[in-house]
Amino acid sequence: MQVSTIAYKCPCCGAPLSYDGESGKVKCAACGNEYDVDAIEAMSGGNDEGSIIFSTTSDSFSSSETGQMHAYVCPNCGAELMTDGTTTATECAYCGSPTVLPDNISGGVRPEKVLPFKITKEQAQKQFEDYFKGKRLMPNIFLNTRNRIAEMRKLYVPYWLFDCDASADIVFDAEKSDTSREGDYEVTRTRHYMVRRAGSLGFDSIPVDASSKLDDMICESLEPYDMSKAVEFSPAVLAGAMADRADTDVKKCEARAVERVKTSTEQAMRDTVNGYDSVTVRSRNIRSTDGKATPVLLPVWLITTEKQVDSKKQVYTFAINGQTGELTCDVPADMGKSFGWFMGIFAGVCAVGYGLLVLLNAMGVL
């Protein structure tokens, strides 16, 4: 298999170029020049000097391993880059030169849109550092030691965006109760109602993670994204960042999108049933039509930090929305601290209750 690599370089000084989401242009960090994406694409497309054709190697790997890995040569310094089969863009581990792999892109699903990064690396680092402030229930390893970043990646994550129309016909069982005193008895009367709601809703750009390497819960915690800021896909937009190719089938992602449509539609209908003490669903019929799936790339700063837990090295992942700065992580709360916090609250409530009993008894109420 033959693979070509392209490194976008500044026409003036030869330094690597990076795409800037704010200006929508490709910028050179060395000389400060800016270029239109189309102009850089045209220059790169007509110049074979920066493109190197080579074959993947399989000397050190089995046939099954080579099916999942590729070896690329950095056009800038000649270093060999190792990536998996879904990577579409990366940067050299030695010289830091951004490298785009267009041949790898054409072999899979081509994204239609890319949402550029708005959060800078410095802002993402500060967000990471500020996250630990005031988190008393966090494990001590994050509070007693400096949280060093083991790896920080500027990553475009593949998503499928789903658009559809949903129609719903839902029947609710509702109850309304009132209590009154009749002689020596306290009587509660409960009225039962059947409430029906029907209507339609339109859904645009429901994002579903199309990468099997990232936890779906982490990805959904980073939402929402403002897709009105997205730009048309171009390999030059990926310059200065890494990107993964979609490796989750659209049908599998569709099931998650349909689930979210049904949940949101039911909740929208439920929000219109007001004035009752309790409401439960008796039956529901929700259908979606005119569905459309669009492959896109969304910006995520992915940070990993390593900690020694019981003499074992544990890796924790932090993800930051590259557009809004929203942060999520897989760090669990300390169980001992959580239990102690709960017991403290419980003891406080008991103490207040006991104090009220003593006071009421002293007043002769009890």
Residue 337 has pLDDT above 90, yes or no: no
- Pick 149 or 137 by higher pLDDT: 149
Note the pLDDT of residue 218.
83
CB–CB of 293/161 below 8 Å?
A: yes
User: What is the mean pLDDT of the segment spanning 230-249?
Assistant: 81
Confidence of residue 59 (pLDDT cuts 50, 70, 90): very low
- CA distances 361 to 353, 356, 358, Å, are 12, 8, 5
User: What is the mean pLDDT of the segment spanning 192-197?
Assistant: 92
Note the pLDDT of residue 49.
38
Question: For tokens 């699903």, what's the residue?
Answer: 109
Distance between CA atoms of residues 61 and 51, nearest Å: 26
The angle at the Cα of 320, spanning 317 to 326, to the nearest 5 degrees, equals 125
Question: For tokens 């557009």, what's the residue?
Answer: 323
What does the mean pLDDT of the chain come to? Answer: 75
Sheet order of strands, 17-20 included: 17-20, 25-28, 34-35
Nearest to 125 by CA among 287, 360, 327, 353: 327
Q: State whether residue 93 is helix, strand or coil.
A: coil
- If you average pLDDT over each of 131-140, 183-192, 216-225, which comes out highest? 183-192
Span of 36-50, 97-111, 267-281 with lowest mean pLDDT: 36-50
Task: Using a pLDDT cut of 70, give the percent of the chain over it.
Answer: 63
Q: Going by DSSP bridges, is the β-strand pair 113-114/231-232 parallel, antiparallel, or unpaired?
A: antiparallel
Note the pLDDT of residue 272.
94
Distance between CA atoms of residues 293 and 206, nearest Å: 9
Note the pLDDT of residue 287.
86
Note the pLDDT of residue 199.
93
Note the pLDDT of residue 291.
82
Distance between CA atoms of residues 113 and 227, nearest Å: 9
Distance between CA atoms of residues 311 and 73, nearest Å: 38
How would DSSP label each residue in 158-215? EEEEEEEEEEEEEEEEEEEEEEEEETTEEEEEEEEEEEEEEEEEEEEEEEEE--TTS-
Note the pLDDT of residue 63.
57
Residue 143 has pLDDT above 80, yes or no: no
Residue 299 has pLDDT above 90, yes or no: yes
Residues 6+ apart with CB under 8 A from 240: 16, 17, 18, 19, 91, 98, 154
- Pick 262 or 52 by higher pLDDT: 262
User: What is the mean pLDDT of the segment spanning 290-318?
Assistant: 79
User: What is the mean pLDDT of the segment spanning 289-296?
Assistant: 85
- Residue 267 phi, psi dihedral angles, 5° rounding: -65, -40
Task: Using a pLDDT cut of 90, give the percent of the chain over it.
Answer: 20
CB–CB of 315/147 below 8 Å?
A: no
Nearest to 163 by CA among 114, 201, 199, 197: 201
Span of 5-19, 79-93, 159-173, 211-225 with lowest mean pLDDT: 79-93
User: What is the mean pLDDT of the segment spanning 46-62?
Assistant: 35
Residue 179 has pLDDT above 60, yes or no: yes
Span of 18-22, 122-126, 192-196 with lowest mean pLDDT: 18-22
Nearest to 297 by CA among 354, 203, 230: 230
Residue 283 has pLDDT above 80, yes or no: yes
- Pick 156 or 57 by higher pLDDT: 156
